[in-house]
Amino acid sequence: MDIQHRRIAANDAVHHYAVVGSGPPLILLHGFPETWRAWLRVAQRLAADFRIIMPDLRGLGGSPGPASGYDKHSLAADVRAIARTEFGNTRAVVCGHDLGGYVGFAYALSHRDATGALVLVEAAPPGTSQLDHLMTNPRTWHLAFHANADVAHLLISGRERAYVDFLIRSRIFDAGAIDAADVDRYAEAYAAPGALRAALEMYRSLALDRQLNLAALAEDGRLAMPVTAVGAAPSATTAGLREMLGEIAVDGRAELVEETGYWIPEERPAQLAEIIRNASEGL
Protein backbone atom coordinates (compact mmCIF):
# COMPACT_ATOMS: atom_id res chain seq x y z
CA MET A 1 0.00 0.00 0.00
CA ASP A 2 1.64 3.21 -1.22
CA ILE A 3 0.89 5.84 1.43
CA GLN A 4 1.90 9.42 0.70
CA HIS A 5 2.43 11.95 3.48
CA ARG A 6 1.59 15.60 2.89
CA ARG A 7 1.35 18.87 4.78
CA ILE A 8 -0.81 21.91 4.24
CA ALA A 9 -0.89 25.31 5.92
CA ALA A 10 -4.47 26.37 6.64
CA ASN A 11 -6.38 28.22 9.34
CA ASP A 12 -3.23 29.41 11.15
CA ALA A 13 -1.83 25.89 11.53
CA VAL A 14 0.20 23.29 9.64
CA HIS A 15 -1.60 19.98 9.15
CA HIS A 16 -0.23 16.53 8.33
CA TYR A 17 -2.29 13.94 6.49
CA ALA A 18 -1.77 10.62 4.75
CA VAL A 19 -3.18 9.81 1.31
CA VAL A 20 -3.69 6.41 -0.33
CA GLY A 21 -5.81 4.64 -2.94
CA SER A 22 -7.88 5.66 -5.92
CA GLY A 23 -11.57 6.18 -6.49
CA PRO A 24 -14.27 8.31 -4.85
CA PRO A 25 -13.22 10.42 -1.85
CA LEU A 26 -13.16 8.99 1.67
CA ILE A 27 -12.08 10.90 4.78
CA LEU A 28 -11.06 8.90 7.88
CA LEU A 29 -10.75 10.83 11.16
CA HIS A 30 -9.04 9.41 14.25
CA GLY A 31 -9.84 9.88 17.92
CA PHE A 32 -7.91 10.03 21.20
CA PRO A 33 -5.33 8.77 22.08
CA GLU A 34 -4.55 7.76 18.51
CA THR A 35 -3.38 9.30 15.23
CA TRP A 36 -4.02 8.72 11.52
CA ARG A 37 -2.32 5.32 11.98
CA ALA A 38 -5.48 3.98 13.63
CA TRP A 39 -6.95 3.66 10.12
CA LEU A 40 -4.17 1.62 8.51
CA ARG A 41 -6.01 -1.71 8.58
CA VAL A 42 -9.22 -0.17 7.26
CA ALA A 43 -7.35 1.71 4.54
CA GLN A 44 -5.64 -1.48 3.40
CA ARG A 45 -9.07 -2.95 2.71
CA LEU A 46 -10.49 0.14 0.97
CA ALA A 47 -7.57 1.59 -0.98
CA ALA A 48 -8.62 -0.24 -4.15
CA ASP A 49 -12.07 1.37 -3.98
CA PHE A 50 -11.52 4.88 -2.56
CA ARG A 51 -9.11 7.79 -2.60
CA ILE A 52 -8.52 8.07 1.15
CA ILE A 53 -7.21 10.92 3.24
CA MET A 54 -6.32 10.31 6.90
CA PRO A 55 -5.53 13.60 8.66
CA ASP A 56 -3.87 14.05 12.02
CA LEU A 57 -6.13 16.38 13.97
CA ARG A 58 -4.88 19.89 14.74
CA GLY A 59 -1.81 19.95 16.97
CA LEU A 60 -0.71 16.41 16.08
CA GLY A 61 1.48 15.17 13.27
CA GLY A 62 4.63 16.93 14.44
CA SER A 63 3.43 20.53 14.10
CA PRO A 64 2.36 22.20 17.37
CA GLY A 65 -1.06 23.74 17.03
CA PRO A 66 -2.06 27.30 17.89
CA ALA A 67 -3.51 28.32 21.25
CA SER A 68 -7.12 28.13 20.06
CA GLY A 69 -9.32 26.55 17.42
CA TYR A 70 -10.07 23.16 19.00
CA ASP A 71 -13.84 23.24 18.83
CA LYS A 72 -14.97 20.63 16.34
CA HIS A 73 -16.26 23.12 13.77
CA SER A 74 -12.79 24.69 13.61
CA LEU A 75 -11.26 21.22 13.28
CA ALA A 76 -13.78 20.47 10.55
CA ALA A 77 -12.59 23.58 8.73
CA ASP A 78 -9.06 22.14 8.87
CA VAL A 79 -10.32 18.90 7.35
CA ARG A 80 -12.26 20.80 4.70
CA ALA A 81 -9.10 22.64 3.65
CA ILE A 82 -7.34 19.31 3.20
CA ALA A 83 -10.28 17.76 1.37
CA ARG A 84 -10.61 20.73 -0.97
CA THR A 85 -6.93 20.43 -1.83
CA GLU A 86 -7.22 16.71 -2.62
CA PHE A 87 -10.78 16.37 -3.90
CA GLY A 88 -11.92 19.82 -4.95
CA ASN A 89 -15.67 20.10 -4.43
CA THR A 90 -16.40 16.41 -4.94
CA ARG A 91 -18.57 14.98 -2.20
CA ALA A 92 -16.77 12.64 0.21
CA VAL A 93 -17.77 9.87 2.56
CA VAL A 94 -16.71 10.99 6.04
CA CYS A 95 -15.98 8.45 8.77
CA GLY A 96 -14.79 9.31 12.26
CA HIS A 97 -14.02 7.35 15.41
CA ASP A 98 -14.29 8.81 18.92
CA LEU A 99 -13.29 12.52 18.75
CA GLY A 100 -12.90 12.05 15.00
CA GLY A 101 -16.61 11.28 14.89
CA TYR A 102 -17.32 14.59 16.61
CA VAL A 103 -15.24 16.32 13.95
CA GLY A 104 -16.96 14.34 11.20
CA PHE A 105 -20.36 15.39 12.49
CA ALA A 106 -19.33 19.05 12.58
CA TYR A 107 -17.96 18.63 9.04
CA ALA A 108 -21.29 17.25 7.83
CA LEU A 109 -23.21 20.07 9.55
CA SER A 110 -20.96 22.79 8.15
CA HIS A 111 -20.32 21.31 4.69
CA ARG A 112 -23.49 19.46 3.80
CA ASP A 113 -23.00 19.79 0.05
CA ALA A 114 -19.50 18.28 0.36
CA THR A 115 -20.59 15.28 2.44
CA GLY A 116 -22.03 12.28 0.64
CA ALA A 117 -22.44 10.09 3.72
CA LEU A 118 -21.36 10.13 7.36
CA VAL A 119 -20.21 7.17 9.46
CA LEU A 120 -19.88 7.67 13.23
CA VAL A 121 -17.87 4.95 15.00
CA GLU A 122 -18.30 4.86 18.77
CA ALA A 123 -19.12 8.56 18.65
CA ALA A 124 -22.20 10.25 20.10
CA PRO A 125 -21.77 13.86 18.92
CA PRO A 126 -22.02 16.83 21.29
CA GLY A 127 -25.62 17.98 21.43
CA THR A 128 -27.08 14.47 21.54
CA SER A 129 -28.77 13.19 24.67
CA GLN A 130 -26.46 10.18 24.58
CA LEU A 131 -23.32 12.30 25.03
CA ASP A 132 -25.07 14.38 27.69
CA HIS A 133 -25.54 11.12 29.60
CA LEU A 134 -21.98 9.94 29.00
CA MET A 135 -20.56 13.20 30.38
CA THR A 136 -21.92 12.27 33.83
CA ASN A 137 -21.50 8.49 33.59
CA PRO A 138 -18.74 7.13 35.87
CA ARG A 139 -17.85 4.53 33.24
CA THR A 140 -16.83 7.33 30.86
CA TRP A 141 -14.98 9.33 33.52
CA HIS A 142 -12.28 10.36 31.05
CA LEU A 143 -14.60 12.79 29.24
CA ALA A 144 -14.98 15.08 32.25
CA PHE A 145 -11.37 14.50 33.32
CA HIS A 146 -9.95 15.50 29.92
CA ALA A 147 -12.32 18.48 29.74
CA ASN A 148 -10.60 19.80 32.88
CA ALA A 149 -7.62 20.26 30.59
CA ASP A 150 -5.21 21.99 32.99
CA VAL A 151 -5.47 19.28 35.65
CA ALA A 152 -5.41 16.51 33.06
CA HIS A 153 -2.28 17.95 31.47
CA LEU A 154 -0.58 18.18 34.87
CA LEU A 155 -1.28 14.51 35.62
CA ILE A 156 -0.65 13.01 32.15
CA SER A 157 2.34 15.02 30.92
CA GLY A 158 5.50 12.95 31.20
CA ARG A 159 3.42 9.79 31.64
CA GLU A 160 2.00 9.63 28.11
CA ARG A 161 3.13 6.06 27.45
CA ALA A 162 1.53 4.68 30.61
CA TYR A 163 -1.67 6.66 30.10
CA VAL A 164 -2.14 5.74 26.45
CA ASP A 165 -1.52 2.08 27.27
CA PHE A 166 -4.02 2.20 30.15
CA LEU A 167 -6.77 3.83 28.07
CA ILE A 168 -6.36 1.35 25.24
CA ARG A 169 -6.05 -1.79 27.38
CA SER A 170 -9.03 -0.83 29.55
CA ARG A 171 -11.37 -0.74 26.54
CA ILE A 172 -10.08 -3.44 24.22
CA PHE A 173 -11.47 -6.90 23.38
CA ASP A 174 -8.87 -8.20 20.93
CA ALA A 175 -5.69 -7.46 22.89
CA GLY A 176 -3.50 -8.33 19.89
CA ALA A 177 -5.06 -5.69 17.65
CA ILE A 178 -3.01 -2.87 19.18
CA ASP A 179 0.45 -4.04 20.19
CA ALA A 180 3.22 -2.43 22.21
CA ALA A 181 4.77 -0.87 19.10
CA ASP A 182 1.43 0.79 18.25
CA VAL A 183 1.16 2.17 21.77
CA ASP A 184 4.73 3.46 21.51
CA ARG A 185 3.88 5.37 18.32
CA TYR A 186 0.74 6.90 19.79
CA ALA A 187 2.49 7.87 23.02
CA GLU A 188 5.34 9.44 21.07
CA ALA A 189 2.83 11.51 19.07
CA TYR A 190 1.16 12.87 22.21
CA ALA A 191 4.49 13.51 23.94
CA ALA A 192 5.52 15.85 21.11
CA PRO A 193 5.51 19.58 21.94
CA GLY A 194 1.95 20.89 22.17
CA ALA A 195 0.23 17.66 21.19
CA LEU A 196 -1.24 16.67 24.56
CA ARG A 197 -2.41 20.23 25.14
CA ALA A 198 -4.14 20.22 21.76
CA ALA A 199 -5.92 16.94 22.47
CA LEU A 200 -7.15 18.09 25.85
CA GLU A 201 -8.38 21.37 24.38
CA MET A 202 -10.58 19.25 22.11
CA TYR A 203 -12.28 17.96 25.26
CA ARG A 204 -12.38 21.35 26.95
CA SER A 205 -14.36 22.60 23.94
CA LEU A 206 -17.14 19.99 24.24
CA ALA A 207 -19.56 22.47 25.84
CA LEU A 208 -18.98 24.90 22.96
CA ASP A 209 -19.33 22.05 20.47
CA ARG A 210 -22.72 21.27 21.95
CA GLN A 211 -23.88 24.85 21.47
CA LEU A 212 -22.59 25.04 17.90
CA ASN A 213 -24.13 21.71 16.90
CA LEU A 214 -27.53 22.48 18.37
CA ALA A 215 -27.54 25.89 16.69
CA ALA A 216 -26.70 24.31 13.32
CA LEU A 217 -29.41 21.67 13.72
CA ALA A 218 -31.95 24.33 14.72
CA GLU A 219 -31.07 26.50 11.73
CA ASP A 220 -30.65 23.91 8.97
CA GLY A 221 -32.37 20.82 10.33
CA ARG A 222 -31.15 17.27 10.72
CA LEU A 223 -28.61 15.86 8.30
CA ALA A 224 -30.22 14.72 5.07
CA MET A 225 -27.33 12.57 3.81
CA PRO A 226 -27.13 8.90 4.92
CA VAL A 227 -25.72 8.64 8.44
CA THR A 228 -24.52 5.35 9.93
CA ALA A 229 -23.81 4.95 13.65
CA VAL A 230 -21.51 2.06 14.55
CA GLY A 231 -21.19 0.65 18.04
CA ALA A 232 -19.48 -2.25 19.78
CA ALA A 233 -21.88 -4.88 21.09
CA PRO A 234 -22.89 -5.40 23.84
CA SER A 235 -21.89 -2.00 25.26
CA ALA A 236 -23.83 -0.36 22.42
CA THR A 237 -27.38 -1.29 21.47
CA THR A 238 -29.33 -0.85 18.28
CA ALA A 239 -32.03 1.03 20.19
CA GLY A 240 -29.50 3.45 21.68
CA LEU A 241 -27.87 4.12 18.32
CA ARG A 242 -31.24 4.68 16.65
CA GLU A 243 -32.31 7.11 19.37
CA MET A 244 -29.14 9.12 18.78
CA LEU A 245 -29.59 8.99 15.00
CA GLY A 246 -33.13 10.27 15.34
CA GLU A 247 -31.81 13.46 16.91
CA ILE A 248 -29.30 14.25 14.16
CA ALA A 249 -30.29 12.56 10.90
CA VAL A 250 -33.23 12.06 8.58
CA ASP A 251 -31.78 8.85 7.12
CA GLY A 252 -30.02 6.87 9.87
CA ARG A 253 -28.73 3.32 10.05
CA ALA A 254 -27.45 1.54 13.18
CA GLU A 255 -24.72 -1.10 12.94
CA LEU A 256 -23.39 -3.28 15.77
CA VAL A 257 -20.01 -5.01 15.56
CA GLU A 258 -19.54 -8.18 17.59
CA GLU A 259 -16.44 -9.32 19.48
CA THR A 260 -14.75 -5.94 19.65
CA GLY A 261 -13.92 -3.32 22.19
CA TYR A 262 -13.91 0.41 21.66
CA TRP A 263 -11.18 0.37 19.01
CA ILE A 264 -13.26 -0.97 16.12
CA PRO A 265 -11.02 0.37 13.29
CA GLU A 266 -8.14 -1.73 14.58
CA GLU A 267 -9.98 -4.64 16.20
CA ARG A 268 -12.48 -5.33 13.42
CA PRO A 269 -11.23 -3.52 10.29
CA ALA A 270 -12.87 -5.91 7.81
CA GLN A 271 -16.33 -5.40 9.28
CA LEU A 272 -15.90 -1.64 9.46
CA ALA A 273 -14.60 -1.49 5.89
CA GLU A 274 -17.74 -3.28 4.73
CA ILE A 275 -19.94 -0.86 6.68
CA ILE A 276 -18.18 2.07 5.00
CA ARG A 277 -18.69 0.45 1.58
CA ASN A 278 -22.38 0.00 2.30
CA ALA A 279 -22.68 3.61 3.48
CA SER A 280 -21.24 4.82 0.17
CA GLU A 281 -23.63 2.89 -2.05
CA GLY A 282 -25.51 5.07 -4.49
CA LEU A 283 -23.22 8.09 -4.13
> How does pLDDT run across 160-184, given as a tens digit for each residue?
999 999 999 999 999 999 999 999 9
pLDDT the model gives residue 283:
78
User: Mean pLDDT throughout 26-47?
Assistant: 98
Q: Does residue 282 carry a pLDDT above 80?
A: no
More confident residue, 64 or 245: 245
Number of domains in the chain: 1
DSSP, res 48: T
pLDDT the model gives residue 249:
98
pTM of the model: 0.97
Q: For residues 248, 72, 29 and 19, what is the CA-based torsion angle, rounded to 10 degrees?
A: 130
Mean pLDDT for all residues in the chain:
96
pLDDT the model gives residue 14:
95
pLDDT digits (tens, 9 = 90+) for 213-225: 999 999 999 999 9
Contact 129, 243 (CB under 8 A): yes
pLDDT the model gives residue 64:
85
pLDDT the model gives residue 62:
83
Q: Is residue 209 very low, low, confident or very high in pLDDT (cuts 50, 70, 90)? A: very high
69: domain range?
4-279
pLDDT digits (tens, 9 = 90+) for 5-35: 999 999 999 999 999 999 999 999 999 999 9
The CATH number of residue 27's host domain is 3.40.50.1820
Assign residue 152 a region (left: φ > 0; alpha: ψ between -120 and 50; beta: otherwise).
Answer: alpha
pLDDT the model gives residue 63:
81
Q: Is residue 205 very low, low, confident or very high in pLDDT (cuts 50, 70, 90)? A: very high
pLDDT digits (tens, 9 = 90+) for 67-95: 999 999 999 999 999 999 999 999 999 99
Strand partners, 6: 17
Contact 52, 43 (CB under 8 A): yes
